[in-house]
Structure 1
Amino acid sequence: MTITPDEMLDLFCQVVDLKEKKKNLYQDALAGCADQVGKETFRYLLDSEASHLDEIQKIHNELKKGASWGDACRYVETGAEDARQLFKRIAEEHRKATTRCADDATALTTGMQLEEASIKFFEDKLGRATEPAQKKFLERMAAAEREHRTVLADLQFYYTDPQAWFMEKSGARLDGAGAVT
């Protein structure tokens, strides 16, 4: 069964609700975070959600005016730093940080759950999409949510075992006599 135009407009309301929840979560996590690694990571996620909300609102407004999906859903590359590279750079810059976000476990777990829900939502809709522009939009959104989930999992790994995180990210290995790179 294909997605009707009315269902696509309703989809935007659901997406905005999910995005707002994540934006609020990342905003609260950012405010309660004491270390720079967490702050910059949550700021990246907050900015990304705000950017997605703007894009979604623009597409929604054009579709409400009667524009076709091909006209309404134009992808513009942001040129933003890849999320994984961003996190690696931040963590390397603040390698000596000893504090961590006060409520990071809750924010990380909730964030990953919301990202998972978003991925499932977009993939479910993608299975019903028939227009190429709809498919492209839903694929982009699902990919962005997977990237956000990966960033949160990476931050959780960093907080759980910073030494193992640095070993993995730096490409160092153990040879029995200690670490080598």
Structure 2
Amino acid sequence: MDDLFEVLTRSEEMAGKSAEFYARAAGACSDALGAAMLSMLRREKLLQMWRLRAVRLTVRHESWNAVKPPVEEGIPLRIVFRRLAVRHEPPRPPLERELDALGMALEMEQAIVGYHGGQFEDAGSDAERRFLEQLIAEGQEVILLITDLQYYFTDPHGWVMTADADGFLVD
């Protein structure tokens, strides 16, 4: 595993760059729901960046034992998206800008999960592994949301049928 502070610093930088990307993508999005979801992803990445900074400072000045696990707050974004999508007018394809942005977002998030997965394999302590496991899980959740958004923008009616069959559209 890379030096612990290097991993935390790099992870913080990746979260910050992701937040910047989602802000630009939201601004270029012609679909209101897509722009809202990309803005929410930006917010999540900013929160992650700040949390990573706090962890890095805590580890530097104290120890891994002083790091508190993140508190689960609110409803997962994928569920928020599914609930909002049924209340919006379906998008009118083609939405090439949105799909291009989502393709880039997917590649970015897969690279981030891959980086954390590689660090997980070489982690030196259980605390480090648990922390990296949490980052991997968060990244995988974002990947699921992005693939859901891609499907929604490609085939809104097919997406609604699938989401309804999965039971996600029941309040």
CA contact (8 A) 1:32 1:101 kept: no
Distance in 1, Cα, partners of 2:80 & 2:94? 18
Distance in 1, Cα, partners of 2:50 & 2:93? 34
- Normalising by the residue count of structure 1, what TM-score does the alignment of the two structures yield? 0.85
Distance in 1, Cα, partners of 2:144 & 2:162? 15
2:9 to 13, 21, 28: 13
- 1:65-106 deviations in Å (ceiling 9; x for gaps): 2x11111x2113232211221110111111344478662122
CA contact (8 A) 2:117 2:136 kept: yes
Distance in 1, Cα, partners of 2:150 & 2:11? 25
| Consecutive unaligned residues in structure 2, runs of 5 or more | 167-171
1:57 aligns with 2:46: no
Give the fraction of aligned pairs with identical amino acids, expressed as a percent. 20
1:109 to 99, 103, 111: 103
2:134 to 133, 140, 147: 140
Alignment of 1:144-155 (within 5 A): 144-155=138-149
Alignment of 1:1-181 (within 5 A): 3=1, 7-65=3-61, 67-71=62-66, 73-98=67-92, 103-171=97-165
What's the secondary structure of 2:99's corresponding residue? Answer: helix
Matched AA of 1:33: C
Distance in 2, Cα, partners of 1:31 & 1:102? 15
The Cα of 1:39 is off from its aligned counterpart by: 1.5
Distance in 2, Cα, partners of 1:135 & 1:52? 17
The root-mean-square deviation of aligned C-alpha atoms, in Å, is 1.9
Distance in 1, Cα, partners of 2:78 & 2:94? 19
Distance in 1, Cα, partners of 2:90 & 2:164? 15
* Superposition misfits of 4+ residues, deviation over 3 angstroms: 95-102
Query: For the structure 1 residues 141 and 100, does the alpha-carbon distance in structure 2 shift closer, same or farther, using more than 3 Å as the test?
Result: farther
Matched AA of 1:63: V
Larger radius of gyration: 1
Which has a greater percent of helix?
A: 2
Matched AA of 1:28: R
The Cα of 1:40 is off from its aligned counterpart by: 1.8
- Normalising by the residue count of structure 2, what TM-score does the alignment of the two structures yield? 0.89
